[in-house]
Amino acid sequence: MSLSELVVPKHSIMTPGPVEADPRVLQAMANPIIGQFDPALLNMMDETKELLKYLFKTNNAEAYPVSGTARSGAEAVLNSIIEPGDKVLVPSFGRFGYLLAEMVERSGAEMKLLEQEWGKVYDVETLKKEIKAFNPKVVAIVHGESSTGALQPLEELGKFCRENDVLLVVDCVPTLGGVEFKTDEWFIDAAISGTQKCLAIPTGYSPLTYNDRVGKILEERKKIEKGLDYDAVNPRRIQSNYFDLSQIQEYWGPSRLNHHTEPTTLLYGLREGLRIIKEEGIDNRIKRHTLHGEALVAGLQGAGIKIFNDLDTKMPVVTLIETPEGVDEAKVRATMVNEFGIEIAGGFGPLAGKTIRIGNMGYGCRKDNILGCIAALEATLSYHGAKINRGDGIQAALEYYAKLGDDQPL
């Protein structure tokens, strides 16, 4: 069998992830492999921890990545803190809330699942009442639902959880690095993210952080595997070995417990991606995402394309549009990628076929991509028979940018 050389098309990825990796990250990842106890690698691990604390806006002692996609971090946190019979409240408002519920259920918890109409978020008073009535050990919730584009406010919820001695676990996979997220100020006990969205790093790592309240549970449940240290019996040991944070934190800590083999190449990429964020400044980066998200909305509205989201609870980095009457959204996505080289995403669950999801994340969150996406979408929707104000969208976006002036972090 003869195979041609690998040819990967150059596409502009305007989905809610995975998105384009920063070229500097890819370059860092091309470096040679060194051993996992090489002092240079250990130093990189320590630097990465510090950079993650900056990103998560936390003074927690623990901030490191779990190797695996974003859900691996969620599985690790939930498995490590939940013991069979623990009460866990999961207020879901889309696909990824259901994913948390699925993990909580599999961990043997007594779970209460709250369900919300897709596209909406929870009023904090409703959550407070549910917490009072159910009295859970843990509340697990998504910050930004990439399936709906909705953003759940967390500040007041975090404060209430802390006052009532409830652990708050948050999935900030699409939001971290692109949308305001304050681990300590919002009283979040554990936060889990992914690399392939606003961090502009390839998928494969789940950065997370947790505080001493979570650390205490890990200490109580700790059991080091036989062959490494001691074979103490701990009836409360964490069910999973791979996702046992009590062991992984020791690998990332001074004892360097040899739990797993760190994906060296990804570590290079993560460190470089975080270094880029530090250079840009986290608040500038959040502003950049916000402004480009607003430009996108201005353009879409200018074209008369209906936005699915409530604008006051919309995530700045994900926008859902309603599929225009009589248009096949799969054909729209196919034309966008085949003719314009722009990838956008379809809807999930009850929104499948009815909505199209557009992301503005990370390195790809740039003016040229936003304008290109609006122009191509106007042409594509019109080509497939939608009645829109063709040409007006791109004008509206240009006007939006012009009004911003030159001193914005774009």
**What's the burial of 358, exposed, middle or buried (CB within 10 Å: 0-12/13-18/19+)?**
buried
Q: Which is nearer to ligand PLP, 98 or 340 (CB)?
A: 98
Cβ 72 to ligand PLP, closest distance in Å? Answer: 7
Q: Residues 146, 148, 246, 369: which binds ligand PLP (CB under 6 A)?
A: 146
Reduced 3-state DSSP string for 201-213: CCCCEEEEEECHH
DSSP 363: G
Q: Which stretch binds ligand PLP (CB under 6 A): 67-75, 263-271, 303-311, 351-359?
A: 67-75
Q: Which is nearer to ligand PLP, 36 or 69 (CB)?
A: 69
Cβ 286 to ligand PLP, closest distance in Å? Answer: 17
Residue 71 interacting with ligand PLP (CB under 6 A): yes
How far is residue 158's CA from residue 250's CA, in Å, rounded to a whole number? Answer: 28
Cβ 120 to ligand PLP, closest distance in Å? Answer: 16
Q: Which is nearer to ligand PLP, 67 or 69 (CB)?
A: 69
Q: Which residues 6+ apart lie within 8 Å of 169 measured at CB?
A: 77, 78, 81, 138, 139, 140, 141, 188, 189, 190, 191, 192
Q: Which stretch binds ligand PLP (CB under 6 A): 63-71, 234-242, 259-267, 375-383?
A: 63-71
Q: Which is nearer to ligand PLP, 98 or 401 (CB)?
A: 98
User: Structure tokens of 189?
Assistant: 């006990």
Residue 253, number of CB atoms within 10 A of its CB: 15
Angle at CA of residue 184, ends 222 and 100, nearest 5°: 60
Task: Give the amino acid at 8.
Answer: V
User: Structure tokens of 326?
Assistant: 């009589």
User: Structure tokens of 257?
Assistant: 């417990």
Cβ 142 to ligand PLP, closest distance in Å? Answer: 5
Residue 69 interacting with ligand PLP (CB under 6 A): yes
3-state DSSP helix/strand/coil percent for the chain, to nearest 5? 45, 15, 45
Cβ 179 to ligand PLP, closest distance in Å? Answer: 12
Q: Residues 55, 142, 298, 371: which binds ligand PLP (CB under 6 A)?
A: 142
**What's the burial of 349, exposed, middle or buried (CB within 10 Å: 0-12/13-18/19+)?**
exposed
Q: Which stretch binds ligand PLP (CB under 6 A): 69-77, 220-228, 264-272, 332-340?
A: 69-77
Q: Are 175 and 181 in contact (CB under 8 A)?
A: yes
Q: Which is nearer to ligand PLP, 223 or 314 (CB)?
A: 314
User: Structure tokens of 213?
Assistant: 């309240």
Q: Residues 119, 174, 362, 364: which binds ligand PLP (CB under 6 A)?
A: 174
Residue 121 interacting with ligand PLP (CB under 6 A): no
Query: To 10 degrees, what angle do helices 282-302 and 392-404 make?
Result: 150
CA distances for 248 relative to 94, 218, 262, angstroms: 30, 11, 10
Scan for tokens 């966008």, then name that residue.
336
Residue 171 interacting with ligand PLP (CB under 6 A): yes
Residue 14 interacting with ligand PLP (CB under 6 A): no
Q: Restricting to residues 195-214, name those near ligand PLP by CB under 6 A.
A: 203
Residue 194 interacting with ligand PLP (CB under 6 A): yes
Q: Which stretch binds ligand PLP (CB under 6 A): 80-88, 114-122, 166-174, 251-259?
A: 166-174
Cβ 71 to ligand PLP, closest distance in Å? Answer: 3
How many residues touch ligand PLP under the rule CB under 6 A: the total is: 13
Cβ 160 to ligand PLP, closest distance in Å? Answer: 22
User: Structure tokens of 390?
Assistant: 């063709």
Q: Are 197 and 174 in contact (CB under 8 A)?
A: yes
Q: Residues 96, 160, 268, 308: which binds ligand PLP (CB under 6 A)?
A: 96
Binding residues for ligand PLP, per CB under 6 A? 17, 69-71, 96, 99, 142, 146, 171, 173-174, 194, 203
